[in-house]
Chains A and B, each alone.
Chain A
């Protein structure tokens, strides 16, 4: 009797009880259809119209919204902003947790659960709170960082008012929040690597680096890919709060990006068509990332077989 699904002891029952499954799924499915899949389709529809959210009529404009996005200089700027932000986040929230999870899982023997609990703690704190704290930290006149910089003879830049710097400052807020969660997920994969394998390698005088490269890296790569993906996806999601609270996309769109611009066109500039068109483009950007990830994972599975 083992190895078969419950409630399906006979082949026939599977079809008889099928409707029950749909009943259990119904509440979740309704929510997903109404608040997730409907908006995605509505975006596509709205992207072909010109509308200011208030006027009773919408004007069909074909692909004009897409055309004006690709014709303007703005797309290039926010695309590079996005790439720059993602690049910093990958260092702080992917590479660093990867290394730290190795140290935590295999190089130390004591206090593991203490470090685990302590480093995860910031992940439970609201980004609104984090934004307030970091706004004070980066305050160019009296903030802690400016005092440290002054004491070594440097003048504090206006972190949230200068191109480039603003993205670094925003990235640190996101990184502070995400680091712990990414570390914990990575650590789960690290501790699943058999200790005997590592000890055997060490007996043959393999250095920590060799162990990391030859054993850890291949054995943890599926989880690493997951963390890689959520670093980008969550990072751009978390970005909304500090950018909205502190910079509103400024200075001069210096901290806007592919995700924030969707909000800006809808709720700041009241151009729903362009916002929807940006949303569609952002979706395509994400689908490309996700497809790349699945393709990579598929390859990995084949390799292991």
Chain B
């Protein structure tokens, strides 16, 4: 009896953590439904009373919101698809073939995970400039296709496939591509979906590299557009900024809600060595 009561006390720090992690989102949501007066007079009140849609109307009517949305979608979808294909192919080679320098190549790809993108930005920027890809979606997409984590996670997943299943296909003289397509892909679909969603969310959220490459406002992605609504001088339109913030994080949140079990299981593997 005493022990079980003590055990319940451990929920307190967890609830506190949830409060700390959620209040920024609660403030974002409530502020996006407040008008200027409510924002400044009752910034602590989490309930917008009465709620107003004025910020959302401004965003949809006065700004090219759907252009930003399209730009973000285009970039995120291409990054997701290309990364998925290249990392599945690479993981396939790492799991099912033996070749010279295998470990060296694998480690040199994994290393990219640990090196900050910043040390690469200037040379990559100069290359994009030479190729004439500045201010285009492809200039944003190309350098972001490098991803050691994706290859690592795919490899972990493929390793879990029982060898016997593959042996059967080989005995029927299937080519490696057929084995990959007909046997392996159906088996890894849950993890591959989770990894793709993780690629998509990451690409969707990216701020820094698009900021350097994209100059025209018409090319902006949603995270970039956010910066248009704040100013260092303090004259920021907080309600509008929060409405854009809200719309920016909605797609990743929806994806997370529908696939959280897969995503969490995949992420839990990512720290496992071997």
* Residue A95, interface by CB 8 Å: no
| CB-CB nearest in chain B for A115 | B14
Minimal beta-carbon separation of A275 from chain B (angstroms): 6
Q: By CB atoms of chain A within 10 A, which of B10, B24, B111 has the most?
A: B24
In the bound complex, residues from chain A placing their C-beta under 8 Å from that of B260 are: 117, 120
How many B residues touch A, CB cutoff 8 Å?
99
Residue ID in chain A nearest B161 by CB atoms: A6
Q: Which residue of A lies closest to B100 (CB)?
A: A18
Q: Quick one: CB contact mask for A27-40 with B, threshold 8 Å, 1 for yes?
A: 11101101111111
Are B119's CB and A7's CB within 8 A? no
Contacts A111-B11, A130-B24, A223-B271 given: A2-B163 contact, CB under 8 Å? Answer: yes
B27 & A136 in contact (Cβ 8 Å cutoff): yes
Interface positions of A from 220 to 237, Cβ below 8 Å from B: 222-223, 226-227, 229-230, 233, 236-237
B138-172 CB mask vs A (1 if < 8 Å, else 0) is 00001101100001000000000001101100100
Q: If the complex has contacts A6-B163, A223-B271, are A129 and B116 also in contact, measured as CB distance less than 8 A?
A: no
A180 touching B21, Cβ below 8 Å? yes
- The answer to whether B223 and A24 have CB atoms under 8 Å apart is no
Cβ of A62 within 8 Å of any chain B Cβ, yes or no, is no
Chain B residue numbers with a CB within 8 Å of A36 are: 112, 115, 120, 146
Binary contact track A233-269/B, C-beta < 8 Å → 1, others 0: 1001100110011100000000000011011001100
Contacts of B114 in A (CB 8 A): 229-230, 233, 286, 290
| Chain B residue nearest in CB terms to A297 | B273
Beta-carbon contacts under 8 Å, B223-246 to A: 223-224, 226-227, 229-230, 232, 234, 236, 238, 241-242, 245
* A128 contacts B112, C-beta separation under 8 Å: no
Distance, CA A125 to CA B121, complexed state (A) = 23
CA distance A56 to B164 in the complex (A): 61
Pick out which of these stretches binds chain B: A70-78, A99-107, A209-217: A99-107
Which residues of A from 90 to 117 have beta carbons under 8 Å from B?
100, 103-104, 107-109, 111, 115-117
Measured between beta carbons, the chain B residues less than 8 angstroms from A143 are 43
Contact B97 A108 (CB under 8 A): no
Q: Which residue of A lies closest to B266 (CB)?
A: A184
Q: Please name all residues of chain A whose beta carbon is closer than 8 Å to the beta carbon of B146 when the two chains form the complex.
A: 31-32, 35-36
Q: Count residues of chain A with CB under 8 A from any CB of chain B.
A: 104
Summarize B's interface: helix, strand, loop or mixed: helix
0 or 1 for each of A187-217: is its CB under 8 Å from B? (1 = yes): 1110000000000000000000000000000
Among B51-59, B63-71, B201-209, the one that faces the other chain is B201-209
Those of A30-62 within 8 Å (CB) of chain B: 31-32, 34-40, 42-43, 46, 53
B181 close to A (CB within 8 Å)? no
Contact A125 B205 (CB under 8 A): yes
Q: Cβ of A119 < 8 Å from any Cβ of B?
A: yes
User: Which residue from chain B places its CB closest to the CB of A187 in the assembled complex?
Assistant: B268
Residues of A close to B224: CB separation below 8 A:
128
A305 on the B face (CB < 8 A) = no
User: Hey, which chain A residues are within 8 Å of B14, CB to CB?
Assistant: 100, 103-104, 108, 111, 115
Q: Which residue of B27, B118, B151 is within 8 Å of A279 (Cβ)?
A: B118
The verdict on A186 contacting chain B, using a C-beta distance below 8 Å, is yes
- Beta-carbon nearest neighbor of B167 in chain A: A1
A223 and B272 contact, CB distance less than 8 A = yes
> Which of chain A's residues have a CB closer than 8 A to the CB of B151?
28
| CA of A219 to CA of B10, assembled, Å | 22
Residues of chain B at the chain A interface (Cβ within 8 Å): 7, 10-11, 13-14, 17-18, 21-22, 24-25, 27-28, 31, 39-40, 43-44, 85-87, 89-90, 92-94, 96-100, 105, 108-109, 111-127, 142-143, 145-146, 151, 163-164, 166-167, 170, 176, 179, 201, 204-205, 207-208, 211-212, 223-224, 226-227, 229-230, 232, 234, 236, 238, 241-242, 245, 248-249, 252-253, 255-256, 260, 263-264, 267-273
**CB pairs A–B below 8 angstroms (22 shown):** A6-B163, A21-B93, A21-B99, A27-B90, A31-B86, A35-B142, A36-B146, A37-B108, A40-B120, A107-B7, A109-B7, A120-B267, A128-B223, A132-B245, A136-B238, A179-B21, A188-B268, A227-B271, A262-B118, A262-B121, A279-B122, A283-B119
Q: Other than the known A46-B123, A141-B234, what 8 A-B pairs have Cβ atoms closer than 8 Å?
A: A21-B97, A36-B115, A40-B119, A120-B264, A126-B207, A144-B43, A226-B271, A227-B271
